[in-house]
Structure 1
Amino acid sequence: MLYAIAIYGEAGVFEALNGARQDEVMGGHRALQTALEARGDYLSVKLMPPSTAVTVDPPGSPGQAPLIVDGPFAETKESFLGFYAADFRDLDEAISFARMISSPVARLEVRPIAWAGGVISSD
């Protein structure tokens, strides 16, 4: 079954760490990517900072265009930073891989996903 390992954290926290701590956190990501690559196809996405986002709000009434607003406006310090997606045997296996990137600078969510179509390519 396909699972996503979603990563949430506060913008700037990772960047504020000293170099050694950043290397330690990224070491977990490199280990996870190596382990996933050895198993087959996987997807890894790092989102750019929330300040680069725009929000598409629904139209106020039928026939109106959606409202495009600069930046996200969530009432939280924490934001969605990125995710991994891969095929795992079950939830327990997905959690065992998520543990590779567990750190004090981010919170992880492991959730089953259904592929809705499309093709992702780096080309």
Structure 2
Amino acid sequence: MCLVVVDTDLAGAMTPDDWARMGEESYAYDQGLMARGVYVHAEALEGRQLARTVRVRGGEATITDGPFMESKEVVAGFILVDVADADAAMEIARNIPMARLGAVEVRPVMTF
């Protein structure tokens, strides 16, 4: 799983044209992963202003507006790929266009 994290300062400085280009680049990148047969699924997430955090303690749930923690970096989306090893996943992450706005955290999906 390539978890895309975006720096809100960098993202906030982008113009609508910049975002349009980033969207086109991201779509083309996903299409390339599909052509290689490693793409499983990808989604962008709505902004943190629509996030809610649920915590359950002692059987009681509390819901708060916003992400889990205040940060200038927020989770913006993910790309799930099916590759042979960590090196292949890192190569994919290194080329994700949105990585230029923050970071991409790469983690294996746990199998039960």
Give me the whole-angstrom Cα distance separating, in 2, the residues matched to 1:47 and 1:78.
Answer: 13
**Unaligned segments of structure 2, at least 5 residues:** none
Give me the whole-angstrom Cα distance separating, in 2, the residues matched to 1:93 and 1:73.
Answer: 30
Give me the whole-angstrom Cα distance separating, in 2, the residues matched to 1:97 and 1:73.
Answer: 27
Rg bigger for which structure? Answer: 1
**Unaligned segments of structure 1, at least 5 residues:** 117-123
The superposition leaves residues 47-68 of structure 1 with CA deviations (integer Å, 9 ceiling, x where unpaired) of 1111101111223xx3x52111
RMSD: 2.4
Give me the whole-angstrom Cα distance separating, in 2, the residues matched to 1:25 and 1:8.
Answer: 15
Tell me which of 104, 107, 111 is aligned to 1:111: 107
Give me the whole-angstrom Cα distance separating, in 2, the residues matched to 1:112 and 1:76.
Answer: 24
One-letter amino acid of the structure 2 residue matched with residue 112 of structure 1: P
Deviation at 1:5, TM superposition (A): 0.8
Query: What percentage of residue pairs aligned between the two structures are identical?
Result: 26
- What is the aligned length? 110
Tell me which of 57, 73, 81 is aligned to 2:76: 81
The secondary structure found in structure 2 opposite 1:58 is strand
Task: Give the match for residue 42 of structure 1.
Answer: 40
Tell me which of 23, 26, 40 is aligned to 2:23: 26
The structure where helix makes up a greater share of residues is 2
Runs of 4+ in 1 over 4 A off after TM superposition: none
CA contact (8 A) 2:44 2:76 kept: yes
TM-score by length of 1: 0.72
